Structure 1
């Protein structure tokens, strides 16, 4: 390429070009596509659709017209982009489940809440504007907005629409730009107007005070807004946050069924039904028997969840569904809009309403000035016409005699050009005597109107009063009751595995070799079950299938397994070591089951023990958790269940020497883990050398008898006979009679 040819082109670094091009693109997306403007709350495509429909005469009282005609006008005159995107924007403005106050009144298939994009093609649907759209258009031709050339300069279009209400809050909106996004939830018209009028009366009001009038979003559906008032105030103070909405339901006890009759905003009923059905199929909702969709024309939303019985806690079931399905949804709030200065920013509620009221006040001022100018021009013309009527013969003579009557009339009667032009354009029929009276009457009316307009425009207070009056009139015309109740609710919690399982009685059986199995019911004789060769019965516990079974090993560690996951007692079970990892050499010695608040006495044969609740022994760790600390050489004794009414219960402890001690259970501490307190006063040296140890313990409810079993000998001691053995915890007690000193077990009878 020659030097002269290359000089015809501009050169610049690629980095600089790319940076500038991307910046231009970003600004276009932010300002002309993704974010709404604070004035009318519309994006350019929405604004152009509404304006084009008004130009086509598609008011709320007009006949419907094919949507394709509207889209064609929008694309051909104002918005040279894709027809699909333009039509979709139009559809959203017509969907009552998407817009709180729809701008387009559609006829035909415009989609459904289950599938908002299932609308028919634009050649099949018809549309016109709604009555609410007048709020955006009624003042359009009254000098209220700036007009700009369209994309090819052939036509003019409004830069903004003169919204009479804060549409940016009423219908909300969402959009993703470059580096920023907006998410504005819809609000109730009457509440928004109440907040605006309060701010007009109290310009110093803050967001918290405005929230007394505009307490939260009002979605098109009747679902509950369950975010707390304090959180909502914080969201409106910051301009961002998250709002939760929850389906509304009721419990029909006679039929044992839950009826859902309102879904969250933008939640698809079909998808929710699929989510619930999937959980039923996966047996994650065993308390649910059936699921039905009974929605019809009279009840657009009616989903029935049939429970298995009236005993099922419907509230708990719904909490689980709120946590695991779209019956409860969160909505991001980000009040990011383009302000009056043309720049996007995140507004607080107070700043947003204040800036919109600034726009509205200026719009009303421009409208009144435009009207005052019209009134003054008309009065000027009427003054000229009145002069003509007062001198009608001379005026007619001048018109008949002169070739150019206008300058003669202007000079003779001191008229302006516009007055003279108006006189020359008079028709003969208007020369009647009554016309003079009509002119004077119109002058009086216009003079009165001019005084009112000058009074309003001359006082900022009167202007604000006018804005307030118009807001209240529009609220009376277009306002409605709140649809989404504001109800503070706790965060939902999904049911865990134990809650979801049916609570059937089971008996967990532990063998000497550490094999485990679970038999249905509590009537099972665990000792009569078959065991592997060289194995036999060790312990059992009665509980429920939705409760964990707790195992205690010889090192004092506790382990837990869900009872419903244990193998059936029809087999010989499986070794616990398959699921648990006890220390090397440890053996499983006991199994416990029951409610988490059940209490047990844990002790070692060294004579130390404490009370522990069963819930403290639960562990999800394969290696379990250390619970009972054993002195050197000591062994774990079989745990003893503590009765519910244990205020006056007693602990019976017997040593290998035949010493029996009874002391109040209340003297033992309740602990989560540890060595415990001394039960029986055995000399430490004897314990250390294993010369004397604790053989058995038992807990006696009040007024109970004690059965002592020693080999083939056994004896039942009455309450009175036990008196010599009663003492404080840690004492030696008293010796049992000969023949009963080699105790095998103690039983409360």
Structure 2
């Protein structure tokens, strides 16, 4: 039996180490892009796998399921959905500055529709990806590392020629950190890189003469141009973006607003949310100038049409859309990427610096490999040219040799012992031969047609070209300016072929200011039926239908249309509703469920008390709970801005059963489920804060609970019904708070 070793360690240290290891693996190997190629591991592996499968831009599309399965099996041992999601995003023109994958089929839409299943869609590499991301992989210019099971090799980083981190941006949530980099214009980024290569002392502000700011695929307008230098200097900040709104004239002097470009942050569900927000502005009477809204977007682009009333102020309404909807939004920038194996927040200049260093590294490795190949060619060419000059001697050596080994020994070292020569002069000349191993092999493999005059001329011409290449490569490797020129020429070629005009405008715009329609303050009547449907009506309408309104509704309350309604529930919460959020109209209108305009949940709570917020401020409220706790609270404590607050503190398994306006001249009667009635003066109840539990109002018997709380004025006859029998409250014997009360037999 083998000896097992128990390692004793502090549990917290082990947990700390394990969590840090996990966090670093998420940061470096999953969520954050590498600053060199701007790709996350899943993106890099997917593109490399497509390259390996030969799914080039000029070849037929292949099923995405094949690509995903191959990537998962060879390089990315995670879920297939993460690989397919990455593949889809790289093919979506509305998300990427430059698409890296050419998708065929349903790859989703800007309005948030998901892509079709991977078994239905097809893909191939985009031309840019093949040209600027994957070329030269065969020239050993990047390191290859073993895959997860060490059966394959994958590139540590792709030899990307352009700053992909800036061009396509990045989004990712790691552990304790997140990255958010906006996309930029390829042509502008290339110009900024060239400017840095010409002068590495250039400032961020000077770089921004070439790269003006983000260039979102959805267009739009960046409105805080003056903030951009600080954002690109530090690598963090907030970019304000607006959609583009155009005003079009219609028949009859009417106008319509047309949204033709949206903020980048509105991609997906944001468009539907925008349409709902505009409808909400109309419903809440924030504006009466919008007649209709329709989404006419298509493959040609975004087109959201808002029809206006005749005489409407189009500019004011545009500003309202910017202010009240996501048509103006904020893009949070945090340019975080993995640099030298560590996550780092970098400014624009640092990212370009890392990119240029990477380009010099790639170019150095590429031209070293090319130089080595040209030197090999030179050696062989020189050998063949020399061989052509003494071809008769070489033929004599070959005919006189017993084996290839003997012939090779003669060609490389002048060994003539085992070879038969026709003359002694030939033997002496053969002894002087000193070809290299490579040259000797090339001579032995040379075909006879190579001795034709034209072929010899071609060989000499090829040798001259090889010498030119060697001189060029040595110049590039030994001269910084020459290497810079080669890199810049490559960038210019890419810019010329793939560059396109800017889509996003960058400017300093004034803050959106609009004048709200002033609501005329008036008294209305709040009506809520037993099903929870609420509405407000004019006081005159209520007076005409008073009998029916009182009979059909559970709550009837006079209030101001600019005020709020407060709902106290059995869970001890108070919910506030703006009266303006409720539908206002005809008496027979159905109204709106109270759940829809407040945080109240009719499936979890029941309403204990409902009142007008303004009237409550000058009152004191009595709170009574099921376990017999009571307190008075000043109504001004409930003058809050929040939609929901805790109105009182409840003990475990307790609930609020009553809230009423109280004054000290009144008497309180608490009635329990078992029929105990306790009457005592209101003055005996202490005034507390809303966060207090209160004091005990009645001593309860086992399994009994308070069912009702009544208030009445001294000297007034007040009757209630208990078990179908009338009980006159003012005839009950007056007692003290915190006693058992009197049993009513019913």
TM-score band (shorter)? 0.5 to 0.7
Q: How does 1:524-539 map to 2 (within 5 A)?
A: none
Q: 2:39 is matched with which residue: 39, 42, 61?
A: 42
What does residue 217 of structure 1 align with? 214
> Do the aligned residues in 1 keep the contact of 2:284 with 2:580 (CA within 8 Å)?
no
What does residue 397 of structure 1 align with? 396
What does residue 318 of structure 1 align with? 318
What does residue 501 of structure 2 align with? 481
What does residue 414 of structure 1 align with? 434
SS of the aligned residue for 2:118 comes to coil
| Structure 1 residue 435 corresponds to structure 2 residue 455 | yes
What does residue 79 of structure 1 align with? 76
SS of the aligned residue for 2:137 comes to coil
In the alignment, the residues of structure 2 paired with residue 316 and residue 24 of structure 1 have an alpha-carbon distance, to the nearest angstrom, of 54
What does residue 330 of structure 1 align with? 330
Map Cα deviations across residues 375-406 of structure 1 (whole Å, 9 max, x no partner): 11111111111122222222233233321222
What does residue 306 of structure 1 align with? 307
Q: Which has the larger radius of gyration?
A: 1
Once the two structures are TM-superposed, the CA of residue 225 in structure 1 deviates from its matched residue by: 1.6
Q: How does 1:155-166 map to 2 (within 5 A)?
A: 155-166=152-163
In the alignment, the residues of structure 1 paired with residue 240 and residue 257 of structure 2 have an alpha-carbon distance, to the nearest angstrom, of 21
In the alignment, the residues of structure 2 paired with residue 14 and residue 583 of structure 1 have an alpha-carbon distance, to the nearest angstrom, of 59
What does residue 258 of structure 1 align with? 257
SS of the aligned residue for 1:333 comes to strand
In the alignment, the residues of structure 2 paired with residue 186 and residue 81 of structure 1 have an alpha-carbon distance, to the nearest angstrom, of 27
Map Cα deviations across residues 594-619 of structure 1 (whole Å, 9 max, x no partner): xxxxxxxxxxxxxxxxxxxxxxxxxx
What does residue 449 of structure 1 align with? 469
Once the two structures are TM-superposed, the CA of residue 74 in structure 1 deviates from its matched residue by: 0.7
What does residue 372 of structure 1 align with? 371
What does residue 233 of structure 1 align with? 229
In the alignment, the residues of structure 1 paired with residue 69 and residue 185 of structure 2 have an alpha-carbon distance, to the nearest angstrom, of 33
Map Cα deviations across residues 464-519 of structure 1 (whole Å, 9 max, x no partner): 222222222211111111011113223335764x44x5x8xx999xxxxxxxx999
Distance 1:546 1:364, change over 3 A: farther
> Do the aligned residues in 1 keep the contact of 2:265 with 2:331 (CA within 8 Å)?
no
What does residue 350 of structure 1 align with? 349
Distance 1:578 1:207, change over 3 A: closer
Once the two structures are TM-superposed, the CA of residue 562 in structure 1 deviates from its matched residue by: 12
| Structure 1 residue 65 corresponds to structure 2 residue 85 | no
In the alignment, the residues of structure 1 paired with residue 580 and residue 88 of structure 2 have an alpha-carbon distance, to the nearest angstrom, of 55
SS of the aligned residue for 1:141 comes to helix
What does residue 655 of structure 1 align with? none
Once the two structures are TM-superposed, the CA of residue 460 in structure 1 deviates from its matched residue by: 1.5
In the alignment, the residues of structure 2 paired with residue 440 and residue 338 of structure 1 have an alpha-carbon distance, to the nearest angstrom, of 50
> Do the aligned residues in 1 keep the contact of 2:284 with 2:581 (CA within 8 Å)?
no
> Do the aligned residues in 2 keep the contact of 1:321 with 1:494 (CA within 8 Å)?
no
In the alignment, the residues of structure 1 paired with residue 384 and residue 396 of structure 2 have an alpha-carbon distance, to the nearest angstrom, of 16
In the alignment, the residues of structure 1 paired with residue 174 and residue 15 of structure 2 have an alpha-carbon distance, to the nearest angstrom, of 18
| Structure 1 residue 123 corresponds to structure 2 residue 119 | yes
Distance 1:289 1:436, change over 3 A: same
Once the two structures are TM-superposed, the CA of residue 164 in structure 1 deviates from its matched residue by: 0.8
In the alignment, the residues of structure 2 paired with residue 478 and residue 167 of structure 1 have an alpha-carbon distance, to the nearest angstrom, of 13
Q: How does 1:167-178 map to 2 (within 5 A)?
A: 167-178=164-175
What does residue 272 of structure 2 align with? 270
Once the two structures are TM-superposed, the CA of residue 334 in structure 1 deviates from its matched residue by: 0.7
> What is the TM-score normalised by the length of structure 2?
0.66
In the alignment, the residues of structure 2 paired with residue 578 and residue 236 of structure 1 have an alpha-carbon distance, to the nearest angstrom, of 49
Distance 1:16 1:564, change over 3 A: closer
In the alignment, the residues of structure 2 paired with residue 194 and residue 252 of structure 1 have an alpha-carbon distance, to the nearest angstrom, of 37
SS of the aligned residue for 2:95 comes to coil
Once the two structures are TM-superposed, the CA of residue 330 in structure 1 deviates from its matched residue by: 1.1
Once the two structures are TM-superposed, the CA of residue 175 in structure 1 deviates from its matched residue by: 0.9
| Structure 1 residue 382 corresponds to structure 2 residue 381 | yes
Distance 1:13 1:480, change over 3 A: same
Once the two structures are TM-superposed, the CA of residue 461 in structure 1 deviates from its matched residue by: 2.2
> Do the aligned residues in 1 keep the contact of 2:450 with 2:456 (CA within 8 Å)?
no
In the alignment, the residues of structure 1 paired with residue 322 and residue 102 of structure 2 have an alpha-carbon distance, to the nearest angstrom, of 34
Map Cα deviations across residues 37-78 of structure 1 (whole Å, 9 max, x no partner): 111100111001111111111111111011111111111111
> Do the aligned residues in 1 keep the contact of 2:247 with 2:258 (CA within 8 Å)?
yes
In the alignment, the residues of structure 1 paired with residue 482 and residue 272 of structure 2 have an alpha-carbon distance, to the nearest angstrom, of 54
> What is the TM-score normalised by the length of structure 1?
0.65
Once the two structures are TM-superposed, the CA of residue 240 in structure 1 deviates from its matched residue by: 0.2
Q: How does 1:666-705 map to 2 (within 5 A)?
A: none
Map Cα deviations across residues 422-477 of structure 1 (whole Å, 9 max, x no partner): 22222333332322111110111111121122122211222222222222221111
Map Cα deviations across residues 553-573 of structure 1 (whole Å, 9 max, x no partner): xxxxxxxx99999x99xxxxx
> Do the aligned residues in 1 keep the contact of 2:265 with 2:329 (CA within 8 Å)?
no
What does residue 296 of structure 2 align with? 294
In the alignment, the residues of structure 1 paired with residue 522 and residue 56 of structure 2 have an alpha-carbon distance, to the nearest angstrom, of 76
| Structure 1 residue 136 corresponds to structure 2 residue 109 | no
In the alignment, the residues of structure 2 paired with residue 135 and residue 244 of structure 1 have an alpha-carbon distance, to the nearest angstrom, of 32
> Do the aligned residues in 1 keep the contact of 2:49 with 2:71 (CA within 8 Å)?
yes
Map Cα deviations across residues 274-321 of structure 1 (whole Å, 9 max, x no partner): 222233234333211111222334x42111111111x22112212222
In the alignment, the residues of structure 2 paired with residue 468 and residue 563 of structure 1 have an alpha-carbon distance, to the nearest angstrom, of 63
Once the two structures are TM-superposed, the CA of residue 143 in structure 1 deviates from its matched residue by: 2.6
| Structure 1 residue 19 corresponds to structure 2 residue 16 | yes
In the alignment, the residues of structure 2 paired with residue 183 and residue 547 of structure 1 have an alpha-carbon distance, to the nearest angstrom, of 42
Distance 1:360 1:546, change over 3 A: farther
> Do the aligned residues in 2 keep the contact of 1:172 with 1:184 (CA within 8 Å)?
yes
> Do the aligned residues in 2 keep the contact of 1:546 with 1:564 (CA within 8 Å)?
no
